[in-house]
Amino acid sequence: MLVLEYKVKAKPRQYQAIREAIRTTQFIRNKCLIYWMDTCKETKIDRFALNKYSTELRNEYKFVKDLNSMAVQSSAERAWSAISRFYENCLKKVPGKKAKNAVLGSPQEERFFKTGYPRFQHDNRSVEYKTSGWKLHKTKRRITFSDKKGIGELKLLGKWDIHTFFVKSIKRVRLLRRADGYYCQFSIDVDNSNQLEPTGKQIGLDVGLEYFYSDSNGNHVENPRFLRQSQKSIKRSQRRIYKHQKGSNKRHKSRKIYARKHLKVTRQRTEFAKKIALTLVQSNDLVAYEDLIVKNMVKNHCLAKSINDVAWRLFRQWLEYFSYKYGRQAIAVKPHYTSQSCSTCGIKVKKSLSVRTHICKCGCKLQRDTNAAINILEKARGGHPQSNARGVATSTLLGESLVEQVATVNRESPRL
């Protein structure tokens, strides 16, 4: 899947119509969640049941009926992907107590106990059409939405060329709202014919506090400084919002400024992540990294680390995306003992965070993170029995509703 994005230009009443369609999507998703909560004890609810339910919603509410039927379907699929993710969490490593609660407690109780329990959405920003309800204009710079939401013809601004692809290969069209306007995204099904020549090289990455990452060849990549700088200015503009009275014009304005600054950082972050991810994938056949558990990291209050976390997650997504695209291997390994074990002899050398050098009796002396990176690479190669490497395919990148399309790929036995 390849995603192309254009900015959209339209009249105010069309933007209004897009907002309305986005609200409807959220309504359907939340309604499906309620339906699941109310009935999942008696009957088995799966994606087909939700699909059927969304058809009922169409008959019940006019504003749902106004939305293209496949777009309604894809809203129901959003609910399903939240639910199935929750089920997966229950099956996987989520502690037993929580899993038990999930079976015994009432839905209301469960919601308190489980972080993975699907939540109602209040801030949905996108609506997704599949293969109907829209039409690309012959001039190739316009798209018309033909359902009864009244969005109509939108002008596409951007330098991508959607028309080098067949219309048939466009699987999804999403309209989304950002702080600086409306965007149209096309998800395109491209075959992976852009395989690169093997390089014969493999690399392991270790994320640390000191550096953005350290690799198994002994190189370190510095933390992007712009993140911390803009973090300051974001904080400032955030405080400014609360100085103005609720509902006032000034407050509305400063909220907008804040949102835009956020968007800027997001873009800088993406650029940074994309660039190094692409370089790594191009110059290595295999990239190994830690499978960090996000939940644990959120608990960490250290600012430097939390900035890193977001950047790192994004970086990982791009890493997985590019390796999928170019037929390379991206392998996430469990981080246990990677920093303690000696990369030469395997003996555990205990050291606190402040110890920056790994020194072992066997004569091995390495920078701490370099040692860890080598261990990570070794694990990914399958050198250790506890290796349980799994890579997540591009799904994370494409957003919630596309999870169904791009299933999790086990990178241990890649089909590419």
The least CB distance from residue 351 to Zn ion, in Å, is 13
Binding flag, residue 340, Zn ion (CB under 5 A): no
Three-state DSSP at 302 gives: coil
The least CB distance from residue 370 to Zn ion, in Å, is 14
Binding flag, residue 342, Zn ion (CB under 5 A): yes
Dihedrals phi, psi of 329, to nearest 5 degrees: -105, 130
The least CB distance from residue 348 to Zn ion, in Å, is 10
* Residue 333 or 342 having the CB closest to Zn ion: 342
* Residue 228 or 365 having the CB closest to Zn ion: 365
Signed CA dihedral, 106, 109, 115, 121: sign only: positive
Q: Give the count of residues interacting with Zn ion (CB under 5 A).
A: 6
Query: Which segments of 186-328 does DSSP mark as H helices, in order?
Result: 225-243, 249-283, 294-298, 303-325
> According to CB under 5 A, which one of 16, 230, 344, 405 is a site residue for Zn ion?
344
Three-state DSSP at 70 gives: helix
Tokens standing for 27?
């309504």
* Residue 179 or 349 having the CB closest to Zn ion: 349
Binding flag, residue 298, Zn ion (CB under 5 A): no
The least CB distance from residue 344 to Zn ion, in Å, is 4
Tokens standing for 110?
């469960």
- In angstroms, how far is CA 262 from the centroid of its own chain? 17
Q: How far apart are CA 207 and CA 372, in angstroms?
A: 9
> According to CB under 5 A, which one of 362, 388, 407, 410 is a site residue for Zn ion?
362
**68-104: string of b/e by CB count within 10 Å (b at 16+)?**
bbbbbbbbbbbbbbbbbebeebbeeebeeebbebbee
Residue at 414: amino acid letter: P
Query: Which of 56-64, 229-237, 307-315, 352-360 is the region at the interface with Zn ion (rule: CB under 5 A)?
Result: 352-360
- 76, 67, 75, 58: which is closest to 146 by C-alpha? 67
Question: Count of CB atoms within 10 A of residue 178's CB?
Answer: 15
Binding flag, residue 405, Zn ion (CB under 5 A): no
Binding flag, residue 364, Zn ion (CB under 5 A): yes
The least CB distance from residue 288 to Zn ion, in Å, is 20
* Residue 297 or 349 having the CB closest to Zn ion: 349
Restricting to residues 91-130, which ones interact with Zn ion according to CB under 5 A? none
Tokens standing for 330?
């991206």
* Residue 311 or 342 having the CB closest to Zn ion: 342
* Residue 172 or 358 having the CB closest to Zn ion: 358
Binding flag, residue 359, Zn ion (CB under 5 A): no
Binding flag, residue 345, Zn ion (CB under 5 A): yes
Helix (H) or strand (E) holding 203: strand 202-206
Restricting to residues 166-225, which ones interact with Zn ion according to CB under 5 A? none
* Residue 234 or 364 having the CB closest to Zn ion: 364
Residue at 168: amino acid letter: K
Greatest extent of the chain over all pairs of C-alpha atoms, in Å = 75
> According to CB under 5 A, which one of 21, 173, 360, 372 is a site residue for Zn ion?
360
- 181, 120, 172: which is closest to 143 by C-alpha? 172
Q: Are 391 and 320 in contact (CB under 8 A)?
A: yes
Signed CA dihedral, 4, 5, 10, 12: sign only: positive
The least CB distance from residue 116 to Zn ion, in Å, is 40
Query: Which of 83-91, 290-298, 328-336, 363-371 is the region at the interface with Zn ion (rule: CB under 5 A)?
Result: 363-371
The least CB distance from residue 219 to Zn ion, in Å, is 22
* Residue 28 or 360 having the CB closest to Zn ion: 360
The least CB distance from residue 376 to Zn ion, in Å, is 16
The least CB distance from residue 360 to Zn ion, in Å, is 3
The contact set with Zn ion (CB under 5 A) reads 342, 344-345, 360, 362, 364
